[in-house]
Structure 1
């Protein structure tokens, strides 16, 4: 069972979502690609870890124990921060070094480890100190209203900012859209046609490769979760 709190209504140009999850029993969870990179503050019986993760292209399975907590601050794909040598924004997480009980190193800066209640101040400092910035060109592409630019310029900015090609990012977005429509009860064949998949089997293979499970498996797990929490 999970106890989840979310913050909605963000006006920040760089934040997509904030979620605090407390696990009341041991188990596993799949984190699926969502077009965001994150700061994840993970609390376990062994202590607190601060992890900066890049955009992912496939599902990641996380094992947790009773009492574990995760605070996830999801940043929009168009936001970026200067990376340290050897870091990447794609399919990797970087464990950030702690300083005492409540601080951590981020490059050459020492920041307070955020809590659910202090996320706004944490994000404000990232922006104020230009640690995180927003690429307006990439933001325009992601929003579906691209600024005037050449294909080459768009691809270069997109790859540098997100760590993904625009094609890969679009495939993830399409898989998310397909899952949402199927969850609403739309026939899979109709969804495949509406979103431009070659056919229904192609859609199912694509979703499984990205999300780790077929739409049917994901829907079945959601149904079980709803019944358990109801």
Structure 2
């Protein structure tokens, strides 16, 4: 399990959330699909750190971790990506970045100091200024149902370039996450079907098994046990 877990929203317009925690023992758990990609800093010992580029995850799967690790997660907003490292190359994978020193790593032919929980915004700001990271505003606009003055084919290309996923995949993942949240709050399965406009209960079940890794009944029972 992970203990001493803390998460906060970010002041950066390019970061969704920042989380920090420690692992008490080896373990694994089902993890849901995730439309956002992350940078994850893992410290097994004080002078043994590695930075990973993680996801997005196109389906639910299993996450595993080792004992006695300190972990920092940086979850980027949709539309933020690294042009030199195409998202299709990191989709459904954990990609380690090479270490430079015990306190830094290599990215785009430069050494970067590992960020801390309190300094993520400064770190990301430098990456943006050096154009290691870029942001495509079309992604947010389209997901907010704002009209885009480009063709549907171009929109699809921009989504695949910036997120590694199609607009439809992102919307399905987000709807499944909303359904899981409702069920965990004790909302009935049928009310969840109605609330989120699923066709019927089997449709909801297929969606949750694919994107969340649990059935509606499993999620609803978890609410009753709390």
TM-score, normalised to structure 1, is 0.87
Which whole-Å CA distance do the structure 1 matches of 2:188 and 2:178 have between them?
A: 13
Which whole-Å CA distance do the structure 2 matches of 1:105 and 1:11 have between them?
A: 25
Counterpart of 1:44 in structure 2 is 44
Q: Alignment partner of 2:7: what SS?
A: strand
Which whole-Å CA distance do the structure 2 matches of 1:127 and 1:91 have between them?
A: 24
Tell me, yes or no, if the aligned pair for 1:3 and 1:24 is still in contact at 8 Å: no
The CA deviation at 1:221 is: 5.6
Which whole-Å CA distance do the structure 1 matches of 2:140 and 2:23 have between them?
A: 34
The CA deviation at 1:72 is: 0.5
Q: Alignment partner of 1:57: what SS?
A: coil
Counterpart of 2:153 in structure 1 is 152
Q: What's the CA shift string for 1:144-190, capped at 9, x where partnerless?
A: 43433322221111111111111111111110111122223222112
Which whole-Å CA distance do the structure 2 matches of 1:127 and 1:116 have between them?
A: 18
Q: Alignment partner of 1:156: what SS?
A: helix
Q: Map 1:174-213; keep pairs closer than 5 Å.
A: 174-213=175-214
> Is residue 66 from structure 1 mapped to residue 67 from structure 2 by the alignment?
yes
Unaligned runs of 5+ in 1: none
Q: Map 1:1-230; keep pairs closer than 5 Å.
A: 1=1, 2-8=3-9, 10-45=10-45, 47-84=48-85, 88-218=89-219
Unaligned runs of 5+ in 2: none
Which whole-Å CA distance do the structure 1 matches of 2:91 and 2:124 have between them?
A: 21
Tell me, yes or no, if the aligned pair for 1:192 and 1:200 is still in contact at 8 Å: yes
Tell me, yes or no, if the aligned pair for 2:189 and 2:201 is still in contact at 8 Å: yes
The CA deviation at 1:85 is: 7.6
Which region of structure 1 is more displaced relative to structure 2, 46-55 or 18-27? 46-55
Which region of structure 1 is more displaced relative to structure 2, 210-219 or 30-39? 210-219
Which region of structure 1 is more displaced relative to structure 2, 77-86 or 119-128? 77-86
TM-score, normalised to structure 2, is 0.88
Q: Alignment partner of 1:88: what SS?
A: helix
Q: What's the CA shift string for 1:65-117, capped at 9, x where partnerless?
A: 33222110000121111134896242122110001101101121211111212
Give the RMSD, CA atoms, in angstroms.
2.4
Q: Which runs of 4+ in 1 moved over 4 A?
A: 218-224
Q: Alignment partner of 2:89: what SS?
A: coil
Q: What's the CA shift string for 1:107-136, capped at 9, x where partnerless?
A: 212111112122121111111111111101
Tell me, yes or no, if the aligned pair for 2:186 and 2:223 is still in contact at 8 Å: no
